Structures are given as structure tokens and as C-alpha cells.
Structure 1
Amino acid sequence: MTHKAAIIGGGVIGGGWAARFLLNGWDVAVFDPHPEARRKIDEVLAGARRALPALYDRALPPEGALSFHDTLADAVAGADWVQESVPERLDLKHRVLAEIDAAAPDHAVIGSSTSGFKPSDLAAQGARVIVAHPFNPVYLLPLVELAGEAESCARADTLLRGIGMRPLTLRREIDAHIADRLLEAVWRECLWLLTDGIATTEEIDDAIRMGFGLRWAQMGIFETYRIAGGEAGMRHFMEQFGPALEWPWTKLMDVPEFTPELVDLIAGQSDAQSGHMSIRELERLRDDNLVGILRALRKTGAGAGGVIAEHERSLGQAEGIPQAALVETVRRAVPQTWADYNGHMNEAHYLEIGAQATDRFMEMIGAGPDYIAAGKSYFTVENHLCYHDEVKVGETLVVTTQVVAGAGKKMHLFHRICRGEVVAATMETLLLHVDLTTRRACPPEAGVERTLTQYAEAHAGLDAPVELARHVGAKR
């Protein structure tokens, strides 16, 4: 079943929402009367198509259909989700939300991207709406704050988890929700550090990105401080550092006067810090850095990485049935973290994607994680890679697997790593079945051996690959 999302307002946040839904298989309808809306959304989508698939080692669902509409009513017709992302003016939101409420289906969740207004503010004139506040870039960062009517928030939670987001439902409504209140506190103190001549914009950013910002990305503030308490934990930390909260370190209740001089100071320092890059270049740099950080977190399951790992598991892969055809074992985008100095996939990652194909094939014959946990597995004895073509970051690779032989303790596979119709590389791999307790070769369990034999028999009629059993330096 295909879902439909309607995006009302196609700026930075609206475009991010459109990309998040679209790349997770939803059809997306956009309404924004701004003459540049289509161009802006296309540019956001280009960045999202490069970045989001790179988080995963499995393919996202086929991309949904994107459409632009001349009226709000046309955009929201038949929508399962309507996201309002117009500027933060309450009178404007009231007008738009009233129009959405009148035209949207009864079953649709209507969310507002507001960063500050409470749901009671938004619904003051009778519109049905909840707060669904995301974070930029919406297509990469999983957090979305929900507030409002309980049943609508519960339905929103389910739908948003399906597109890889981490909903956080507020226990009660409050101005600016949770995350923006924390950001506002840090922002106020940053402005004072600038106003008082303590540090520049770049020096303040360095204090965050070189220090506690890296800790916060994986553990937040409470887990970080728990570690700071040592073996005695959080209680010791509070006893040791709690009294410092009474010291006059911060100026959180005061705001420096927002004078033209302060604006010029901040803008000038910011231009000196980052003015050599365009906004699109900065966005691409941000996305590449986020992908690298999020992939590292995904490996450990910490922080936002756990959300990505959970979403990836839900994407699923079709179960293989032994047949006389090559088996698709991997379909995935090439992440930026796999690039070499030329912007192409580094040679080591051809081996990595081949290993992923082997792991996937092991799952298909019944030798997956549960089988390994029970004490049996296949160990790689030998690999032979042949490189045929370059692969660029962001391109999609598909690996097909041929069973050359599968009997007794041995499994002999041949992987073709393809970019479209082009075979970019091949990998021949030989594995032995092993008892993980004795670390010695042994026969596989009957079910695994039977399925592997069926694959080997089904593939016996296929042509032998020309690269099979080649030695290094042999003519192709």
C-alpha cells in the first residue's frame, strides 16, 4: 500500500520533509505558491538522494512519486499525512491550518513543523493539528518532537517510525518544546560570549565541535555526566558539581541587546569563518559529516545510530528460493565514507560489499545470525577480486551471487558487483563450515546443507564466469 504525504510550504524544512517521505517510498504532493519552490525542493532532494541512502547497507524502498499543485486543496486530497511548514507567524498558521482542516481527509494526520508554538496555540481557532517538529536536515536527523491530542500523536508515532524517524512525544505542552529550549539556552550564552568579547563565532563553534558536541551526539547530557561521576555514578557527579549551579557563571535569564552593531559583529565573523563556501557546499559538507558520524553510531547502536539500525532491519529483504538464476544478495548506495581521494569507491570496499553479499547468502540458506549464535558458521578461506570499472559515491550497486559449488563442508561462491548494466568488479570466495566451539571444520546442519545443495544444483547449468579460478595477472 502506497502512502501519500502533502507538504504545505516548500522551504528548507518543508523540502526536508518531502525528501524524507519520498525516499522512503511515499508519494509526495507539494503546495507552495513561491515561484522558486520547485527549484528549491529539487535542490534539497538532490542532497537527500546523495546522503540518506548512504546511511544504510540495504536499499530503501522504491522512491515515491513527487507532484506540485496549484492549490492547497489539490495537494492534500487523499493524503495520509499533511505537514504544514509555513513561516512562524501564528496568524498565517491559523489561516493555513483552517484551509488544511477543511480539505484534508478525516484519517489524515495534520502536523505542524512549528519550533515554538504549542498545539493549543495552533488549534485555538478549531483546526485539528499536532506539533510535529523536526530538525534540519529532516531527511537525515531522526528526531521529531510530537505534542497534542494523544490518539493523533500515537498514529503519528507509528507512521514516522516507518520512515526512519525517532518520535519524542512531550508529556505536556510547553513553549518551544524540548530541544529548542536547550538550544536557546546555549544560544543566549553564545551571544553573551560574543558581546563581552570573550570569543569569536569560530572559537565558540570550536568549543562545541571539538569537545562536548561529540559526546552529546552519542550519549546526550545525562549519560555524559554519569560517566563524569566516575564509578560512583550520577549521584557523585551531582554532589560534586551541583553547587556550581549557584555560581554566577551563565547569563541565561538575560539577553544581550540585539543592536545593529551586534548583528554586524556576528555576521562579519560568520562571513570570515564560512563565507568561502556557498550554502549548497556547506549543506553537502554537513551531510557528508553527518553520514559519517551516523554510520559510526549505527555500528554500535548508540544514539541516533540505533534508530537507523532499527529502520534498516524493518526494510527487509526478499527471501531467496533456489532457482536457476543469479541471486540478488545486495542492493545499496555507495556512502561518502567509502570514497578515496578521487571521489571513487576505495578498493577495500569492493571486498566489503562482496563480504556483505556472502553474509546475505548465508542468511538465505539458513546460516544467519541465529545459526551463528548456536555455534556454527562458514569461515572465508580465500577471496579473489577482479576490478573492472570505477564506482562513484552515491551510485547504487547491485550484487548477484552464483553458487559454483556447495557440498559437504565447502561453499564456493561467485559475486558480480554491478553498477547498472556494467560489471564493476567480481569476487570469487571459498568458505569452510566451522564449529565455533572447536574452531575446526565440520559438516553443516542438515537444513543448511540441503538448501545450499539445492542452490548448487539450480546454478549448475549456468555458464562458468570467465574470471573463475584466475590467477593474479592472468589475461582477461
Structure 2
Amino acid sequence: MLIGHPFNPVYLLPLVEIVAGEQTSTAAMDAATAHYDDLVMYPLVVRNEIEGYLSDRLQEALWREVLHLVNDGVATTRELDDAVNYGPGLRWAGMGTNLTFHLAGGEQGMRHMLRQFGPALKLPWTKLEAPELTDDLIEAMADGCEEQAEGRSIAELARLRDDYVIGVMRSLRPLNLGAGRLIAEREARIHEAGSTPPWTKGDVVAAPLALYETVVEPDWVDYNGHMSEWAFLTAFGWASDKLFRYIGIDEDYRAAGHTFFTVETHLNYAQEASLGAPFRVTTRVLGVDAKRLHLFHAMYRVDEGGVTGELLCTTEQMLLHVDTDAGSTAPMLDGPAAALAAIADAHADLPVPPQVGRVMQIPG
């Protein structure tokens, strides 16, 4: 027997607790862990079978205390949620309870924390045994939650929850904390799966290049259900990353102090894109010299059968090659320079897109 216990909403939250039976093999546990890892979930192995799993046990301890505080007339449901939302909840998303208290212990960490504040744990502050669920308590809880909902339906609250969960996860991504680390891993897997081998001398260059294809991600969608303005630029950024890797600009190149910085961007929005909609980005090199790269990305919907559909958005960009150690522009190294020269030559006879060089103005 093997149990995979997810966390609601399962389509967003990555946690899945894996519990083995007495006769479950290590191989079966490893296979389950690998399966959930492939789904970019977070498989947490519960080493001992217990009632309630780990996450539910922690939730229920807090939940029982909430019931007592409401039952005793100490606080309302809103006040108790505010006590979490504006305080510890913000810390828990990235560090959890234990690392938070380790931090609170100062330079000596958890040891000092427990030695100084541990005796207070003997005080009867919390009541882990739930109170009697009387009709009055049930009504107080329900009335409080309905007041907090402010007329919003369960479906509306679920959408709000999904939006802020995504926002929190995205905010943790640059810091490589908690669920944010999984978002970074998922993005890396997507790009690795569709990677094109780096250009080598003599390769035939596609005109235009088509290096990036994906779908509209859940966190790219705004409250209108469409891809947000900033998300189009994010997608174009990934398309540029694909181009960089194609010409030989990778982690080693950047670690050596060489990279491109974008200095100017023009975006043109043509059509909306909805959640899950597949799209591909074509890339053209309009011009290149020793330090500058002028490129053009066009995003197209992908129709049934993989056929390129209608235009969604375009961007024209100017980038400068820089020496990050010196903090100034610098010529490209030979490899990327040769690759870009070959691409520019292959793209030279393509018609100039109508969006190139456009000026924003109100006629008249």
C-alpha cells in the first residue's frame, strides 16, 4: 500500500505527503517520489504512518485554538484570520514555523529560543482539545465567515485564493524559497525539454527562428482571464533566453562576466491569449554589430495540429553586450558573434515586419 495525500487546491499547491504501508518496498516509494517530482510537485515522505498526516495535524492544532477563541468570545473569525494574514502567515510561506523561531533566537538560533522561551510553553495558553461544537459556536463561526466573505460566493473566494497563492509563489521564486523553488524548476524543465542544439558553423539557420513554444501559464493570467501585459514581456524574455543559448550564451558565459542587457523595448498587442492557450514565438535578428543586437520576436497562437495561427503580440528590442565585471559595454566573444552574424545573414532577405520602428502617437 502507498498513499499520496495532496493539499487543496491540488492544481496549484505542490505538497503531496507520501505514506508507505508496512510492506511497501523502498523501490515503490522511490517510484512514487520520482512520479510526483516529474509533475513538479513536492513529495514529502512521511516516515511513520500517523493519523491526519503532517500538514493536517498542524492545521488542526491551529484550527482547534481558533474554535476555542471564538467559543470563549475572545475574538471573531475575521480578527483571528487577520492575526495570521498580517503576521505569522507572511513568514510561514517562505520559512515555516521552525526556521522562523530559529531566526527569532538570534545568533544562537533555536537553542537560545527554547532555553529562553521554552518554560512559557508550560503555561496553559493553548487548548489542543477542541471545544464542544454547540449550535451557538457553529453559528458564531458561520456568521463570522459570511461577514468576512462580504457577499462573495464560494467560487469567487476560490478564485481570489488561487490568485494570491500564485502571487505568493511567484514572489518566492527569485529567492529560491519554498514553493518558489519549484516554479523555477518547472520553468527550467520546460525550457530544457524544448531546447535546440547550439549553433555550429555550417548549420542551416531557420528564417525566422522558432525556438520557444509553450502555453499560457496560470500565473500569467489577470482578473479578466487573459494573459497580462507583463506576461507577454516575460514570455519574450524566455524566447530571448532560447536565442542566447542557441548562440552559445549560457550559464558559463554569464559566469565569466559576459551577457546582454536590454536597453529598449517596443511591444505591440494584437490579440488576447487565455489560460492554457498554446503559442510559439518566432525570432528574427534585424541587425548586429560588435556590441549591439537588434531583434524582433513575434508570438503566434498554435492551432490544432501544431499549425501556426493568428498573431498575438510582437516586440522589437535593442540589446547591448556588456562586461559585468567592468560594468560597461564590451564586444561579444567570438562564438556568439559568429552565430549572430550567420543568423543575421540568413534573415537579411526577410521582409521587415510592419511593427518595426513604429512611433506611438495620436494622428492629427
Shorter-normalised TM-score: what interval? 0.7 to 0.9
Equivalent of residue 329 in structure 1, options 212, 230, 234 = 212
Q: Equivalent residue for 1:445?
A: 333
Q: Deviations over 1:58-79 (max 9, x none)?
A: xxxxxxxxxxxxxxxxxxxxxx
CA RMSD of aligned residues (A): 2.6
Give the CA deviation at 1:164: 1.0
Q: Does 1:193 align with 2:76?
A: no
In structure 2, what residue type is equivalent to 1:195? N
Q: Equivalent residue for 2:5?
A: 133
Q: Is the 8 A contact 1:193 1:199 kept in 2?
A: yes
Q: Does 1:415 align with 2:297?
A: yes
List runs of 5+ in structure 2 lacking aligned partners. Answer: 200-204, 303-308
Give the CA deviation at 1:375: 1.1
Q: Equivalent residue for 1:211?
A: 87
Alignment of 1:357-368 (within 5 A): 357-368=239-250
SS in 1 for 2:87: helix
SS in 1 for 2:295: strand
SS in 1 for 2:174: helix
Q: Does 1:167 align with 2:55?
A: no
Q: Deviations over 1:142-195 (max 9, x none)?
A: 111111123322110000000011111122222212111111211111111111
**TM, length-normalised to structure 1:** 0.66
Alignment of 1:159-308 (within 5 A): 159-252=35-128, 254-274=129-149, 276-308=151-183
**TM, length-normalised to structure 2:** 0.85
Percent identity at matched positions?
43
SS in 1 for 2:86: helix
Q: Is the 8 A contact 2:195 2:242 kept in 1?
A: no
Alignment of 1:25-64 (within 5 A): none
For residues 6 and 313 of structure 2, the distance between their equivalents in structure 1, rounded to whole angstroms, comes to: 40
SS in 2 for 1:433: strand
For residues 296 and 335 of structure 2, the distance between their equivalents in structure 1, rounded to whole angstroms, comes to: 22
Q: Equivalent residue for 1:371?
A: 253
Most deviating of 191-200 and 380-389: 380-389
In structure 2, what residue type is equivalent to 1:324? A
In structure 1, what residue type is equivalent to 2:244? M
For residues 290 and 267 of structure 1, the distance between their equivalents in structure 2, rounded to whole angstroms, comes to: 24
Equivalent of residue 144 in structure 1, options 10, 16, 23 = 16
Alignment of 1:374-389 (within 5 A): 374-389=256-271
Q: Is the 8 A contact 2:69 2:75 kept in 1?
A: yes
Q: Is the 8 A contact 2:258 2:321 kept in 1?
A: yes
How has the CA–CA distance of structure 1 residues 311 and 382 changed in structure 2, closer, same or farther, with 3 Å as cutoff?
closer
List runs of 5+ in structure 1 lacking aligned partners. Answer: 1-128
Q: Deviations over 1:188-247 (max 9, x none)?
A: 111111111111122211111221111111100111111111233222211221111011
Aligned length: 345
Q: Equivalent residue for 1:467?
A: 355
How has the CA–CA distance of structure 1 residues 130 and 394 changed in structure 2, closer, same or farther, with 3 Å as cutoff?
closer
Q: Is the 8 A contact 1:330 1:400 kept in 2?
A: no
Q: Deviations over 1:361-417 (max 9, x none)?
A: 112211123211111112223333334445566655543211112343332211113
